[in-house]
C-alpha cells in the first residue's frame, strides 16, 4: 500500500477551508453592516480526517493515488440559514462568484434521502495560490437550515456510534424527527415576515438610541446642568414607554439643540 504524506496532501484543503470561511463570513458581515438582509445565519468549516478519507476511498474502490482527483469533499464548509427561503439566495450567491466554479449540485431538500436527510450540496473548484504556485482544490459547500442541521448532526453521531448500522427502530424515529424538523421550517416560514419586521424595528431602535446617547454625551459639555437633568428624565420616560415616534421626535429635538450650540 502506498504511503500517503497526509500533512502535504491536506494542507491545500485546510487553506481552502480557511479562505472560504473568510469569504462567506465577510459577505454576511457586509450585508449586515449595509443594512441588507443576509440569508446567511452562520458559516462553519471542516476538513475530512485521514481515517474518513481512507474509509470513503475503500468504500468507493478509489486507489490512494486517485484520492485528490476522485474525493471532492475533503474540504467543506456549511452555510446555515434561518429559513428555507434563504437557501436559494445563498445558492445564487455561490453560483455568481467569480473566484470559484460550481461543477455539481445535489438537491437533497427537494429529493430527500430515504433516511430523512435534507441539505443542498454544491461541489466547487477553488483556485488556491500557494507558495508552490496555483492549485485548483475541490470543496463541498453544504447549505441547510438550522433545523436541518440539528437533525443531520444527531443522525451523524448515531451513525458513527453504530458504525453505519443504526437499528431500524432508531432509523424510524430519526425519520419522524426529520419530518418534524421539516414542519418546523415550514411553520417558521409562515411567521418569517413578522420576525423580519421585529428584527428590522429593533435595529432601527438601536441605531436611534445610539444617536440619542451620542447627542446627550455631546450636550453635557455645553448645556446647563438643569437642562441635562430634564433631558435625561425625558429620555428614560420615552425609553420605558417604547414609543418609536416619540423617540424620533426627541432625537430631532436633540439634533436641533446640538446644532444651536455648535453655532
Burial group, residue 198, by CB count within 10 angstroms (0-12, 13-18, 19+): exposed
Q: How many residues does the chain have?
A: 263
Closest CA to 102 of 125, 81, 79: 125
- Based on the residue annotation, tell me whether 187 is a catalytic residue of this protein: no
* Helical packing angle, 168-190 and 192-219, nearest 10°: 60
With cell 450585508, the residue in question is 31
Contact between 108 and 121 under an 8 Å Cβ cutoff? The reply is: yes
Four-CA torsion 172, 173, 179, 181, nearest 10 degrees:
-150
Cell numbers given for 122: 454544491
Closest CA to 92 of 139, 22, 42, 40: 40
| Catalytic-role residue among 19, 72, 140, 155 | 140
Tell me the HSE value of 236 on the side-chain side, using a 13 A CA sphere.
Answer: 6
Catalytic residues: 140
Amino acid at each position: 500500500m502506498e504511503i500517503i504524506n497526509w500533512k502535504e496532501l491536506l494542507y491545500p484543503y485546510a487553506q481552502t477551508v480557511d479562505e472560504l470561511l473568510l469569504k462567506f463570513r465577510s459577505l454576511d458581515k457586509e450585508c449586515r453592516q449595509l443594512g441588507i438582509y443576509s440569508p446567511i445565519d452562520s458559516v462553519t468549516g471542516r476538513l475530512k480526517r485521514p481515517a474518513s478519507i481512507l474509509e470513503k476511498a475503500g468504500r468507493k474502490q478509489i486507489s490512494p493515488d486517485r484520492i485528490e482527483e476522485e474525493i471532492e469533499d475533503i474540504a467543506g464548509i456549511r452555510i446555515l440559514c434561518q429559513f428555507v427561503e434563504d437557501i436559494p439566495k445563498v445558492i445564487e450567491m455561490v453560483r455568481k462568484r467569480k473566484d470559484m466554479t460550481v461543477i455539481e449540485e445535489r438537491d437533497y431538500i427537494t429529493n430527500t434521502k430515504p433516511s430523512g436527510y435534507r441539505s443542498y450540496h454544491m461541489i466547487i473548484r477553488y483556485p488556491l495560490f500557494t507558495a508552490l504556485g496555483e492549485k485548483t482544490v475541490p470543496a463541498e459547500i453544504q447549505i441547510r437550515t438550522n433545523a436541518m442541521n440539528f437533525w443531520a448532526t444527531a443522525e451523524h453521531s448515531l451513525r458513527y456510534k453504530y458504525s453505519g448500522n443504526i437499528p431500524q427502530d432508531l432509523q424510524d424515529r430519526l425519520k419522524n424527527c426529520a419530518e418534524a424538523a421539516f414542519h418546523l421550517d415550514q411553520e417558521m416560514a409562515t411567521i418569517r415576515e413578522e420576525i423580519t419586521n421585529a428584527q428590522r424595528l429593533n435595529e432601527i431602535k438601536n441605531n436611534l438610541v445610539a444617536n440619542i446617547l451620542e447627542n446627550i454625551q455631546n450636550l453635557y459639555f455645553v448645556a446647563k446642568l438643569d437642562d441635562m437633568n430634564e433631558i435625561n428624565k425625558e429620555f428614560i420616560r420615552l425609553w420605558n414607554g417604547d414609543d418609536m415616534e416619540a423617540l424620533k421626535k426627541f432625537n430631532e429635538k436633540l439634533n436641533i439643540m446640538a446644532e444651536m450650540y455648535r453655532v
